[in-house]
């Protein structure tokens, strides 16, 4: 009997260990960090130009990069997203439907799915974005970005994401104060990051309807601003930046995150360019390139970078290749073709090069 129980316990332990390693193997790419998860699926393309240039796919890539830079959500990698979509026997561009998008979000463990449509028409182009809450399959936010052309549209994606993020403030309470330091009841799992700033409020008088007497809300009185210095999973620690005249930050007051505009963030830009430093004002130096598919010709290029020698690397987006030019604009070489195999490209929208000459 003792031997039988020992065998059962041993088998249970082995099963638990196996389940643990399987969980790590299958879920690490999606759950590598704490925080609120968000995934951006390929947008649908409508209109002749949008379909021809597959603008929905490019828009999804740029939106993904913009959400990553915003550092507000844990953004699911597109490769992991693609794998789940294939396993669910869906199409990346078939996720405009709210219920289908929510289904993928639940499988990924993502709280939000960003989906939508790019529509081209005579005289303009629209990007219509919806942020779907996976658990309830409801649209949390819907907004539209309108531009006169594709270049203008994609250049405005970063501020558009900043606008979307204003609908997702982190809210919580001050639960401890010591001199100029405060502790908050929200942390990494809520999307809080070191450096984030919060406005602090206290409750004022109740606002009542003058006829019915019903309470419509409560006045919010701003007491100051704080900035997060370090985080734990469920807590954040911050320092007081300012306190409003006649007010003081104290225990129990409400906090709300301040949206960070991408233009003010430090870090790698979405589109990089090599600049030659000169004394005096910047001035136009050189122009080259014609629209086309031949070597040296470009088809809606988005990314550009330069090495220390002035060699220029261009992400020739809709030709699905990288082209290299010298500092006078003379074509040097090119590589890449449209595809999904190793070394192939699928509408590359950016390029960069390190000091060792490695191209990314």
pLDDT of 319-352, one tens digit each?
A: 889 999 988 888 999 998 887 788 888 778 778 8
Quick one: pLDDT at residue 277? 39
Backbone φ, ψ for residue 17 (5° rounding): -65, -45
Quick one: pLDDT at residue 26? 36
Q: What is the C-alpha separation between 331 and 125, in angstroms, rounded?
A: 32
| pTM of the predicted model as reported, rounded to 2 decimal places | 0.58
Quick one: pLDDT at residue 359? 87
CATH code: domain 171-258 is 2.40.10.410
Quick one: pLDDT at residue 155? 86
Contact residues for 103 (Cβ-Cβ < 8 A; gap 6+):
88
Quick one: pLDDT at residue 32? 33
Q: What is the C-alpha separation between 279 and 141, in angstroms, rounded?
A: 47
CB 153 within 8 A of CB 265: no
* Matching CATH number, 271-360, of 2.40.10.500, 2.30.40.10, 1.10.760.10, 2.60.40.10: 2.40.10.500
Same fold across 37-165 and 271-360 = no
Stretches where the chain sits below pLDDT 70 are: 1-35, 88-97, 260-285, 300
CB 74 within 8 A of CB 35: yes
What are the tokens at 61?
């890539």
CB 314 within 8 A of CB 304: yes
3-state secondary structure the chain: CHHHHHHHHHHHHHHHHHHHHHHHHHHCCCCCCCCCEEEECCCEEECHHHHHCCHHHHHHHHHHHHHHHHCCCEECCHHHHHHHHHHCCCCHHHCCCHHHHHHHHHHHCCCEEEEEEEEEECCEEEEEEEEEECCCCEEEEEEEEEECCHHHHHHCHHHHHHHHHCCCCCEEEEEEEECCEEEECCCHHHCCCCCCEEEEEEEEEEEECCCCCCEEEEEEEEEEEEEEEEECCCCEEEEEEEECCCCCCCCCCEEEECCCCHHHCCCCCCCCCCCCCCCCCCCCCCCCCCECCCCCCECCCCEEEECCCCCEEEEEHHHCEEEEECCCCCEEEEECCECCCCCCECCCCCCCECCCCCEC
Of 169, 175, 176, the closest CA to residue 191 belongs to 169
Domain ranges of the chain: 37-165, 171-258, 271-360
CB 231 within 8 A of CB 182: no
Q: Which residue has the tokens 């947008």?
A: 43
Question: How is domain 37-165 classified at the CATH fold level?
Answer: Rossmann fold (3.40.50)
Quick one: pLDDT at residue 130? 92
CB atoms within 10 A of CB 194: 14
Of 347, 357, 327, 345, the closest CA to residue 154 belongs to 347
CB 219 within 8 A of CB 207: yes
């Amino acid at each position: 009997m003792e031997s039988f129980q020992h065998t059962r316990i041993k088998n249970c332990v082995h099963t638990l260990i196996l389940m643990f390693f399987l969980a790590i193997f299958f879920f690490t790419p999606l759950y590598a960090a704490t925080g609120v998860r968000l995934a951006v699926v390929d947008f649908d393309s409508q209109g002749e130009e949008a379909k021809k240039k597959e603008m929905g796919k490019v828009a999804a890539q740029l939106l993904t990069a913009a959400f990553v830079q915003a550092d507000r959500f844990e953004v699911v990698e597109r490769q992991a997203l693609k794998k789940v979509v294939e396993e669910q026997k869906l199409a990346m561009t078939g996720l405009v439907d709210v219920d289908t998008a929510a289904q993928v979000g639940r499988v990924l463990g993502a709280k939000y799915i960003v989906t939508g449509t790019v529509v081209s028409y005579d005289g303009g182009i629209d990007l219509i974005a919806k942020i779907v809450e996976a658990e309830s399959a409801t649209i949390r936010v819907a907004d539209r970005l309108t531009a006169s052309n594709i270049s203008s549209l994609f250049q405005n994606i970063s501020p558009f994401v900043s606008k979307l993020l204003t609908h997702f403030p982190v809210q919580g309470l001050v639960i401890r104060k010591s001199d100029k330091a405060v502790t908050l009841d929200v942390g990494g799992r809520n999307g809080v990051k070191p450096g984030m700033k919060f406005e602090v409020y206290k409750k004022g008088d109740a606002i009542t309807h003058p006829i019915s007497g019903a309470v419509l809300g409560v006045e919010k009185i701003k007491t100051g601003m704080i900035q997060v210095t370090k985080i734990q999973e469920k807590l954040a620690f911050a320092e007081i930046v300012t306190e409003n005249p006649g007010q003081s930050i104290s225990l129990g007051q409400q906090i709300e995150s301040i949206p960070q505009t991408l233009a003010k963030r430090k870090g790698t830009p979405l589109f990089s360019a090599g600049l030659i430093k000169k004394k005096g004002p910047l001035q136009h130096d050189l122009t080259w390139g014609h629209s086309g598919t031949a070597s040296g010709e470009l088809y809606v290029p988005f990314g550009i970078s330069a090495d220390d020698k002035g060699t220029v690397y261009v992400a020739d987006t809709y030709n699905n290749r990288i082209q290299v030019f010298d500092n006078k604009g003379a074509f040097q070489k090119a590589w890449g073709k449209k595809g999904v195999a190793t070394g192939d490209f699928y509408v590359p929208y950016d390029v960069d090069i390190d000091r060792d000459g490695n191209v990314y």
